[in-house]
Chain A
Amino acid sequence: MMSSQAVCQPADEFDALKERLSALCDPEIPVLTLEDLGIIRDVSREGDAVIVTITPTYSGCPAMDAIASAVQQVLDASPLNGKVETVFDPPWTTDWLSEDGRRKLKEYGIAPPAGSTSKRALMGDYSETVSCPRCDSTNTKVISQFGSTACKALYQCQSCLEPFDYFKCH
């Protein structure tokens, strides 16, 4: 019967959709997926509809529009009805960055966030030790707290002299 191929089990479609969503990459740091970053907060079903909940990293992150439309495109390509919802509470934090994400950042040449934000808030301590992603030296200095994108600061390694991006603890 021809129709048996066209009719998919809803559960399979939902799983397939989740898989495609989890493969989406950040437009500015393409080695990281939106899942690594914790930007996709939830994928859930409400009746026939699929709701993808995303959260912005920084208030003014220009990539958020691109991210929302990339998610919407995946939803539009799926036979399921889907929409994107943006939530702000609780606010995004680098603490949600996955271990895998931290490793991929370092391999890409960006130093991952040092420590956790909760500890920082508690200690009021901003003197984080940032390791060079190339030679692992901790003898590094900040060039500017504001780097090429909102989420990064500019550092330089004092051992190998390489300048590098640091993904700010946020």
Chain B
Amino acid sequence: MDAQTQQDLFEYTLRLGDDALTLGHRISEWTSKAPFLEEDIALGNIGLDFVGRARLLLTYAGEVENLGRDEDQLAYLRDIRQYRNLLICELPIGNFADTMARQLLVDAFELPYFQALSQSSDRTLAGIAGKAVKEAQYHLRHSSGWVVRLGDGTEESHGKMADALSKVWGYGPEMFITDEVEQRLVDAGIAVQREELRDGWQAQIERVLEEATLAVPDVSWQVDGGRRGEHTEYLGHMLAEMQFMQRAYPGLQW
């Protein structure tokens, strides 16, 4: 592998790892606070899927980088500007509708994304993606089910679901940006071209929203920056909590 590809592959694996880590940590914040017991267990399991995926990806990123950094060093000892996750993954959990709206947008993207990545010429990424596909199927059924139930529910749940969707909608487009790093890896048969998934994603979301009697949000703004280390104000607070133990007790192991 040439130096450019190695550097790109590290950056790319770190991005996917940070997406999984930040979202997994957010979902875990529901533990013991979900609306009822079964949902608490469901969110706990889903959060665990993401954190587990983050561990695999960050471990692999460390191997590709080849500077001796392991999953813990990458997760706990990088500062906010070195985080490469999509902004949608770091947003606070908000209320239950906010969490399900974010999850629907992400899950509907991840299922086809990891299906495509499971064909990657990088066999480690392909293997991790193969596991992610199966998990994403359950995640999408879960979030779609809730968006329909809340949208097509009471006046209040309908209103909260519509509000949640309009708040998160502008964070969706960042998922479809393929910059030059990823484009080089797409050309090498390693990464997945994101723009190509956009129409299928839009159609999938519209199907769910229609069943939920919800309109596609009429939102003209959109933001990006996570891949460049430009984050929302929320990530710093999350990292402060997530990294506390490792910062207070350097080298700590479970």
Contact = CB atoms under 8 A, between A and B. Distances in A.
A144 B127 CA distance: 27
A88 B132 contact: no
Interface in A25-65: 56, 58-62
B41 interface: yes
B16 interface: no
A89 B127 CA distance: 4
Contact of B124 (A59, A88, A154): A88
Interface in A140-166: 143-150, 154
Interface string A85-99: 001111110000000
A33 to B, nearest CB: 22
A60 B38 contact: no
Summarize B's interface: helix, strand, loop or mixed. helix
A150 B56 contact: no
Interface residues of B, number: 30
A144 B42 CA distance: 8
Contacts, number: 76
Given A91-B134, A145-B138, A145-B141, A59 B128 contact: yes
A168 B138 CA distance: 10
Nearest to B42: A146
Summarize A's interface: helix, strand, loop or mixed. loop
A149 B124 CA distance: 25
Contacts of A58: 48-49, 52, 131, 135
Contact of B38 (A89, A91, A144): A144
Interface in B114-138: 118, 123-124, 126-128, 130-132, 134-135, 138
A150 B41 contact: no
Given A62-B48, A91-B134, 5 more contacts: A60-B52, A89-B124, A89-B127, A146-B42, A149-B45
Interface of A: 56, 58-62, 87-92, 117, 126, 143-150, 154, 168, 170
10 contacts: A56-B131, A58-B49, A59-B132, A62-B48, A88-B127, A88-B128, A91-B118, A91-B134, A144-B42, A146-B138
